[in-house]
Homo-oligomer: A and B are copies of this chain.
Amino acid sequence: MTLIRVVNPNTTASMTALIGTSARAVAGPGVTVEAVNPDMGPASIESHYDEALAVPGLLAEIIAGERAGADGYVVACFGDPGLDAAREIATGPVVGIAEAAMHAAMLVGRGFSVVTTLGRTAGRARDLAQRYAPAGACRGVHACEIPVLELETDPAVLPRVVALAREALDRDGSDVIVLGCAGMAGFCAEVSQRIGAPVIDGVTAATLLVQSLVGLGLRTSRRDEYAVPPPKPFTGLLAGFAIK
């Protein structure tokens, strides 16, 4: 019995529900997916500021997951916030959805383009591509300029994403489209069908990567960088995060 905890690091419950549904749809038999979100932090993540302030809530959910015996974790925001910190405190593997989507994209094509929400997040997507992928794999980042919380309701999203994805394939010479927001998970199949090329949603990709790592018996290496943090005092609002 494997328990995968999928953490949506923003505080919007409807988005968490959507993410949970996506993850459960691909999880194998014997795998329980628990989709959660913190009760502190921003309602959506659309800036470095939002991202930084989503991390304490994310870490609280990892800590809670450890108490609940989770076998692995998905960080379900395309900026992969707090991924390194989460790896230090989780017993099992932790995978970010940008990381998972980029890994999957590289397995079904030579180059990919990211289609994301706001243009201001493109820099973060490029930073992550540089961290996860060899030079040249990520060939473009394109923004539909629709805020995260309007993805569920704005009818313009699907046609906009399809148009951007088509343009990205042609202009960037890419083979694969990566969706740059957990809130786009629901569009994955339809966009793929319309553009005739693989489209990757990071939530499902990360869920199966975590399931695979658990299946392989692999955990984050405890050597150096991801060793358990040294204990020390924490004060003020964040006093509860102290590790003893």
Query: What separation, in Å, do the CA atoms of A219 and B59 have in the docked complex?
Result: 33
Across the interface, which residues of B come within 8 angstroms of A134, CB to CB? 130-135
Contact A41-B235, Cβ < 8 Å, known A49-B243, A208-B215, A216-B208: yes
> Please, how many residues of chain A have a CB less than 8 angstroms from a CB on the other chain?
100
Q: Are A42 and B123 interface neighbours, CB within 8 A?
A: no
How many copies of the polypeptide does the oligomer hold? 6
Contact present for A48 and B85 (CB under 8 Å): yes
Q: Are B88 and A43 in contact (CB under 8 A)?
A: no
With CB as the reference atom, state the residue of chain B lying closest to A229: B47
Q: In the bound complex, do residue A109 and residue B216 qualify as a contact, i.e. CB atoms below 8 Å apart?
A: no
The distance in angstroms between the C-alpha atoms of A28 and B31, with both chains bound, is: 11
Q: Which residue of B lies closest to A99 (CB)?
A: B107
Contact B48 A123 (CB under 8 A): no
A233 at the interface (CB under 8 A from B): yes
- Please measure, in the bound complex, the distance between the C-alpha atom of A26 and the C-alpha atom of B217, giving whole angstroms: 10
Task: Report whether A28 and B215 are in contact in the complex, using a CB–CB cutoff of 8 Å.
Answer: yes
Q: How far is the CA of A133 from the CA of B213 in the complex (A)?
A: 18
Given the interface contacts A52-B55, A212-B211, A219-B198, does A40 sit within 8 Å of B237 by beta carbon? Answer: yes
Q: Are A216 and B238 in contact (CB under 8 A)?
A: no
A29 with B26: CB separation less than 8 A:
no
- Render A191-229 as a binary contact track against B, CB cut-off 8 A, 1 for contact: 000001110100011001101110111111111111101
List chain B residues, Cβ under 8 A from A234: 40-43, 53
A123 touches B224 (CB 8 A): yes
- The residue that A41 contacts in the complex, of B28, B176, B222, B236, with Cβ under 8 A, is B236
Q: Give which listed residue, B59, B109, B130, B213, contacts A136 with CB less than 8 A.
A: B130
The 9 closest A-B pairs by CB, nearest first: A40-B236, A47-B229, A175-B221, A208-B212, A48-B84, A123-B225, A109-B221, A48-B85, A52-B85
